[in-house]
A and B are shown apart, each in its own frame.
Chain A
């Protein structure tokens, strides 16, 4: 079909992308691996040398690391749970006949376009702030003490903020999937006397399986790297209460300027991401027959 020269030209056209992505991934990753076995602090650059697996040992012995790992998984799991469950419910609602469908969709999708620092700053200052936040005003209105969201419940608060940002994405995908559901099938089931719950359980939910998989896969990629929201609100605190793995590594690199330890953390993050990616690629590869 295509001539020899076309094929050759095609290879030349792919080459820049492949080379760039290769350099972008492999070179820094190799450097990270190299640094992770070395003593390398930017503040005392003359004291360098091989330290074996000391940097890794430091991580595994640090209680902060296990907390950060737990927080990372809590964040991913919590946000996935909230966005998938609420996303399906809201999508079912939006799939009903509604007046003003167009404007309504615009309102629902809006949070997704708000950049993470702004989203975090809105919630931190205008809603969760103990003195001036709207939540504290509501609490006082009921004669209760304002809740110190980011101080007393940092992880649930961060999860709430991130879930608010990602809920529109999940909803949008479920709405798209529901539109391809045949109404004849649902009507037939209704005539046969199937209850609303059974119609959901046996017709709608199986139809949504693929959409749910996609939402989980895509969101996990982005959620594993959540950073801006934590940087803006809690800075990982109080103490290390809301430190996730990316944030812990960031602190080691930029704040403590300990390149060796940060690099070891980076490699650990790669291993974690690979474990997750293994399941992701198996799931997504099947669906991505573009």
Chain B
């Protein structure tokens, strides 16, 4: 709102907004601070702020002396793998629905969206049994498949709304000039679609990384990603606060960084293009 404002008002709103923002952010900040304290300092009463015993030991310990790197690597493989596989399947589908729409395209899109409303618990039992049957329980390939299918409707929808914004005339012009379907996709469409594909990829990696239903139900130890590991890090009783915090901080850091890059796309992706 471009109105003239008094400096006093500017300071008032600034202070109020920063107070609110810091309250919302405080739990994350407190966890990060705790991760740099010694275990004794982390549970000290009253809580220690500036006078705390600071250390980097927790990070060294969590990363070096446990299975943590494996959980981290599992998260990377599952998030990136399911995203790439999803894009591979979704890009042609979104392309054809955006540029060669048929009578039923709209219905098809709505049907895909409706599959997102199917509660995961309703298909959990058969998926669990099928996984048991085919030896997919606690494997990374199993989770890649499930998370890819889970997010496929979101990927298709997001790509579709981005592709829709590419003017169809350009494609027609290319076609007139004798470009084949393949050339059209590779040389004309793809360069224009890269920003959209990139943001779709980013959002989907975030969703897959943070997923905590299938990862908990379908893994135990071998293929468990960070979300399953942290969820079953049971009742520390004040003994491992600092280490738990360090493990948590490392688990959310990649996504915090990716997420801050993709704020705008986040709104668009999660609202299926309804809010841009």
Which chain A residues have a beta carbon within 8 Å of chain B's beta carbons?
1-2, 5-7, 9-11, 13-14, 16-18, 20-21, 24-25, 27-29, 31-32, 35, 90, 93-100, 104-123, 125-127, 129, 131-132, 134, 137, 140-141, 164, 167-169, 172-173, 176-177, 181, 183, 186-187, 211, 214, 218, 221, 224-225, 227-228, 231-232, 245-246, 249-250, 253-254, 259, 262-263, 265-267, 269-270, 272-274, 276-277, 280-281, 284-285, 287-288, 290
Closest B residue to A260 by beta carbon equals B125
User: What is the number of residues of chain B that contact chain A, defined by CB distance less than 8 Å?
Assistant: 102
The answer for the CA separation of A131 and B239 in the assembled complex, in Å, is 12
Name A's interface SS: helix
B241 part of interface (Cβ distance < 8 Å) = yes
Known contacts A98-B18, A122-B27; 6 further A-B pairs (Cβ under 8 A): A9-B96, A111-B28, A122-B30, A140-B46, A173-B275, A269-B122
Q: If A25-B115, A90-B20 touch, does A228 touch B267 (CB 8 Å cutoff)?
A: no
B141 at the interface (CB under 8 A from A): no
Max chain A C-beta neighbours (<10 A), residue from B22, B118, B260, B267: B118
- Select which of B22, B126, B263 is within 8 A of A105 by beta carbon: B263
Contact A29 B122 (CB under 8 A): yes
Within the assembled complex, what's the spacing in Å between the Cα atoms of A71 and B1? 41
Q: Does B197 contact A (CB under 8 A)?
A: no
Contact assessment for A227 and B230 in the assembled complex, using a CB-CB cutoff below 8 Å? no
> A119 to B210, alpha carbons, bound, how many Å?
11
Contact status B123-A25, CB under 8 Å: yes
* B residues at A contact (CB < 8 Å): 1-3, 5, 9-10, 13-14, 16-18, 20-22, 24-25, 27-28, 30-31, 34, 43, 45-47, 89-90, 92-93, 95-97, 99-100, 102, 108, 110, 112-130, 149, 152-153, 156-157, 160-161, 164, 172, 181, 206, 209-210, 212-213, 216-217, 226-228, 230-231, 233, 236, 238, 241, 244-245, 248, 251-252, 255-256, 258-260, 263, 266-267, 270-276
Residues of B within 8 A of A104 (CB): 17-18, 21
Taking a contact as CB atoms under 8 Å apart, the answer to whether B45 and A137 are in contact is: yes
For residue A160, give the distance in angstroms from its CB to the closest CB of chain B: 11
* A106 pairs with B260, CB closer than 8 A: yes
Inside 8 A of B260's CB, which chain A residues have their CB? 106, 109
For the complex formed, measure the closest distance between the CB of B275 and the CB atoms of chain A, giving whole angstroms.
6
Across the interface, which residues of B come within 8 angstroms of A167, CB to CB?
Answer: 24
Could you write out 30 A-B pairs with CB less than 8 Å apart?
A6-B100, A10-B96, A25-B115, A28-B126, A29-B118, A96-B9, A98-B17, A104-B18, A107-B24, A110-B28, A116-B210, A116-B212, A117-B227, A117-B228, A126-B30, A132-B43, A137-B46, A173-B271, A176-B275, A176-B276, A214-B275, A225-B213, A228-B212, A228-B216, A231-B216, A246-B119, A265-B121, A266-B119, A269-B119, A290-B160
Of A97, A119, A259, the residue contacting B10 (CB under 8 A) is A97
Assembly CA distance A290 to B117 (angstroms): 19
Q: Would B93 and A16 count as touching, CB distance under 8 A?
A: yes
- Residues of B with C-beta under 8 A to A173: 267, 271, 275
* Contact partners of A221 in chain B: CB under 8 A: 116-117
Once A187-B3, A266-B119 are accepted as A-B contacts, the answer to whether A141 and B30 lie under 8 Å apart by CB is no
State the CA gap A16–B85 with chains docked (Å).
Answer: 12
Task: List A contacts of B129 (CB < 8 A).
Answer: 31, 259
Chain A positions within 8 Å of B236 at CB level: 125
Are B25's CB and A107's CB within 8 A?
yes
Q: When the two chains form their complex, are residues A100 and B123 in contact, meaning their CB atoms are under 8 A apart?
A: no
Q: Which residue of B lies closest to A270 (CB)?
A: B122
B216:A164 contact, CB within 8 angstroms: no
Smallest beta-carbon distance A285→chain B, Å: 7
Q: By the criterion CB–CB under 8 Å, are B27 and A266 in contact?
A: no
- CB neighbours (8 Å) of A25 from chain B are 115, 118, 123
CB pair A253 B124 closer than 8 Å? yes
